[in-house]
Chains A and B, each alone.
Chain A
Amino acid sequence: MKKSVGLIAFAMILVSPAEAKRRVDAFTGLTPKGYIVQNAPATLRVADLSGAKVAIIPSQNFLNFMKDMGRWFRPEKQRNLFGERPSAENTNFLVHATEPQLLTDRLVEKLSGLGATSFIANNLPDAKSQGATVFIVFDYHGRYRDLSGIGGFIPFTKEKTGWESSGGLHVLDGKLQRKLQVEATAMDEYRDSSMLPGMNEQALKWGTIISGSQRKFLDDLFLRWDAAVQQ
C-alpha cells in the first residue's frame, strides 16, 4: 500500500527523487566482508590530530548520495513531462544546495582548526600509501521521506515532504583501530502548497530541505564530536 502511494506520489509530482539506496554499514567496500573494526584502547584527543595527516574517506552511503544527487538534481534533469523548468535562479539554488562538498567542507574546516592537514582518499590502502596517520570514514546517508501519507490525496490537504540526513564519523588510528565514533540524524520538512507544485516550487523545496537537514545533521554531529574528543 505504502509503495503504491509512493509510486502515485512520484507520478504526481514528477520529479521527486526515488527512494534512496538502502543504508549499508559505514565500512562497506572499505574493509573485507566480515571484518570487524576494533576499538582503540584510547579515545581520540585533540592532540592526536595536531600535526596529523588525516585521510577523509567517504562511505558507500556517501557515494550513493552523491550518485543520487547527480541523477536527480542535475540542471538538465529539472523538467517535468510538460516541459516546465524552474527558473535559472531556482535551478542554481538547487544545484548549490545539494553539493556534496558542503558536507566535507565542515569536516575539513574542523580538522584544519585542530592543526591537522587533510585530504580525500579513495580507500584505506590508498590513504595509507599517501601517508595518512589518521583515517576518518565519513558516513552520510540521505533519504527522501513522504510524510503526507494517504492524507496527501484528500483534496485540500497538503503534501508534506522530508529529507532525512543520517550518518557519522569513524576515526581510525594507524592500526585501523577506532578511536572515535560519533553519529547524528536530522530531518528537515516542507509542506507543499498543493499536490501539484510547479517546477519552481519543486526546486526550492528540494534545495531547502536537503541543505537544511544537512546543516542540522552537521551541527549535531560536531556538537557530539566536541563532547567526545578529549582536550
Chain B
Amino acid sequence: MTASKLAGAFLTACLLAFPIDDVDAQERAAHALETPLPGPTSAAVPAPAASPIDRLNEAFFKADRTVDYANVDGPRSWYREHITTIQHSTPLIGCWVGGALASRAGSGALLGLATCAAGSVGFSSIGVLINPIKEDVEPSPELDSLFSSLPKRDATSAINLLSGSLDADGRASRQQTLAKETKSRGAEIAAIKERKQQNGSIWGQILLGAAQGYLAYEANKGRIAAASAMPSIGGGSSTPSTTIYRRDANGQSQGQYQAPLAKIAPSSSPATHGDGSYPAGPHCADYARNAVRENVYYFSVTNICNYSIHVRLRDDRHGVIEFDLKPGKKYTDQVPTDTRFLIASCPDITDRETGRSVVINGQGVKYSKLGRDQCVLL
C-alpha cells in the first residue's frame, strides 16, 4: 500500500468517524441566517444586521464562547478555555497533515489540495464532537437585572403540595389509587343511574305530581272532566303520577288535596263520581280516589308496584296501617277488624260494610300478563 493510499484511507476514516452533519453546528448556522419568527404571544425582535459571513462566523465559532467556565472542569475546561484557538487551528492542522501526507506520497498539487481540505474538515469535526457541553447562559448584568425585575409571587402552600409530584412512589401510588377507584366508582355510577332511571326523575315527579294534584282537585270540583285529569298509563309505562286528595265522610270534596308525597300509577279511565259504580280497570288513581271517598283521609302510595307493593293506608279510626300487597294473597289478618277497608287480594279492595269490591276483580290479571305486578299501590 502506498503512502498516498494510506493518507487517503486515514482522511476517509476521519470523515467517516467525524461526520460534519452535526446538529448543533447546522442549527446554529440555520438560525444565524434567519430572523426568529414571532410566536403566538410574543412579538418578533428584529435581528441586528450582519453579513452572512459574520453570521456563519458567529454560529460556528462565537456561539460557544457563552460558556459558564465555572461549571466546567477537567480537560473539557481546558478545551473550553482554548476553544477559539483550537477551533481556528484544527482546520489548519488538518490541512497541513493531509497536504504533508499527500506530498510525501509524491502526489500532485490537486491531490494535496483535496487532502488538505478533507483534513481540515475532519479535524474541525473532531473539535465539534469533543465539545458536548451544552451552551449555558452567560452571566450577564442584563440577565440578572431581568430576573431581579420579575415579580416574586408567593404560593408556598401550593408549591409544597405540587412538590409531592417529585416523589416517584407518591406518583405511582396516586395513579394506582385513582385507577382503582375510578373503576369501582364507575360501577356505582351505573347502579345509581339505573335506579334513578327506574324510579324516574324526582324533579319530574314533583312537578308532574303537583300538576296532577291540581288537575284532580279541579276535576273534583267539576271544573275539568275527570278523564282528562288522569293521563294514560300508556300500556304499562312506569311513568308515575300522583293523585292524593281528600273528601269528607259524605264523599264530597273538601276542596283540598294533599301534597304529592307519593307516586301512584295513573289511570286512563273516567274517575268515579260517588254513585257507587267503579270504573273498569285496576287504576291506581281509582284506588286512591275511592279510598279517599270512603273517608280514608290519607291514602299514600310509596312506590310503583312493578315488583312489590307496599300499601300505606290511614283511616280515621286507626291512623296509618302499612302492609305488603301481592297478587292473590290475603291481607285481612294484617289490618284491624274494624278497618273500613280490607285488601283481599291484589288488586281487590273490599269494602267491609258493603261487601263490594272496590276494584273489579280480575282486572289486575290484565297487567299481570304484561309480566309485571302492575297492581298498583305502593
Contacts and interface: CB of A to CB of B under 8 A. Distances in A.
- Counting chain A CB atoms within 10 Å of each CB, the highest count among B44, B136, B159, B174 belongs to B159
A interface, by DSSP: helix, strand, loop or mixed?
A: mixed
Nearest to B155: A63
Given A30-B150, A39-B36, A200-B192, A104 B137 contact: no
A90 B152 contact: no
A224 interface: no
B181 A156 contact: no
B150 A195 contact: no
Interface residues of B, number: 62
A39 B203 contact: no
Contact of A193 (B42, B44, B197, B207): B197
A63 B202 contact: no
Interface in A7-40: 25, 29-32, 36-40
A194 B154 contact: no
Contacts of A38: 36, 39, 42-43, 45
B178 A102 contact: yes
Contact of B155 (A58, A96, A133): A58
A32 B182 CA distance: 42
B95 to A, nearest CB: 31
Contact of B203 (A31, A47, A195): A195
Contacts of B168: 112
A108 interface: yes
B185 interface: yes
A124 interface: yes
Interface of A: 25, 29-32, 36-42, 45, 47-48, 51, 56, 58, 60, 63, 66-67, 89-90, 92-93, 96-97, 99-102, 104-105, 107-109, 112, 118-126, 128, 133, 155-158, 173-176, 178, 181, 193-198, 200-201, 204-205, 207-208, 211
17 contacts: A29-B153, A32-B150, A38-B39, A51-B134, A56-B162, A60-B153, A89-B184, A93-B181, A107-B165, A122-B155, A122-B159, A125-B152, A126-B152, A155-B208, A158-B201, A175-B137, A193-B201
